A and B are shown apart, each in its own frame.
Chain A
Amino acid sequence: MAATVRLPTVLRPAAGGATTLTVEGATIGEVLISLTTNYPAMRGQLLNDDGTLHRFLNVYVNDDDVRYLGGVDAPVGDADEITLLPAVAGGSLG
């Protein structure tokens, strides 16, 4: 399986400026591991050390947030478009 991955502005330098990539993987976890293998500068920005999704990364398969589709186990097909966007969060807490 190879899906199209749309990268946010902040991750493009790690991929030589590319806005979209074609990445191998049958699940979101496999796709993200392929990305960090091919583009080591993304390491630490996609997955935690335990293989779970980074807290401040939003991952979508087509129109759906993968947190509602099984997280890293969410299946990915050839026709799927995966979008990565940094979570937008913060607050007055210390």
Chain B
Amino acid sequence: MLYLSARQREAMIATCVRALPDEGCGLLVGRGERVEDVVASPNVAASARVYEIDSRVLLATDRRCEREGSDLMGVFHSHTHSEAYPSPTDVAQAPDPAWHYVLVSLRDAITVVRSYRIVEGRVDEEEVVVERAADGPETGTERRLA
């Protein structure tokens, strides 16, 4: 399960749209299964088929998490021309079994956001719970396999 706000979901999508035609990417900071911040990164691979988080963003975020007592809990990136499912490259290079791997597919008119756990090459989708702010236009919790 991955909990995030509607605003955080929109921030991931906006990062990926801005990166077009390349893949967009960024890191997820939080505690347990709850995202507290979305950290956009340049895609240093500068490619529509490959992404790599900027090493300086990675170090700064790692240090921030240590300082704040939060976790570097995952990564998001876009697939511009394919579905929101980890590619063999994503699975082979998944750096941490404790992480949440969020895929943003921009292939179709409706953007699709899904999250996965990747442990020893095995891919399991998890539910994404998008919570709307209490003072936002909608109240309550939206539950869906995003």
| Chain A contact residues, CB within 8 Å of chain B | 8-10, 56, 58, 60, 63, 65, 67, 83, 85-94
Contacts and interface: CB of A to CB of B under 8 A. Distances in A.
Interface string B114-135: 0000000000000000000000
A5 to B, nearest CB: 14
Interface of B: 23, 25, 27, 45, 47, 49-53, 55-56, 58-59, 62, 75, 77, 79-82, 86-90, 93-98
B95 A86 contact: yes
A58 B72 CA distance: 16
Contacts of B58: 58, 85, 87-88
Contacts of A9: 96, 98
B53 A94 contact: no
A93 B93 contact: no
Given A9-B96, A10-B96, A58-B55, A91 B62 contact: no
B56 to A, nearest CB: 7
B62 A10 contact: no
Nearest to A66: B55
Given A9-B98, A10-B96, A86-B95, A93 B55 contact: no
B20 to A, nearest CB: 13
A58 B50 CA distance: 17
B47 A91 contact: yes
A88 B49 contact: no
A92 B81 contact: yes
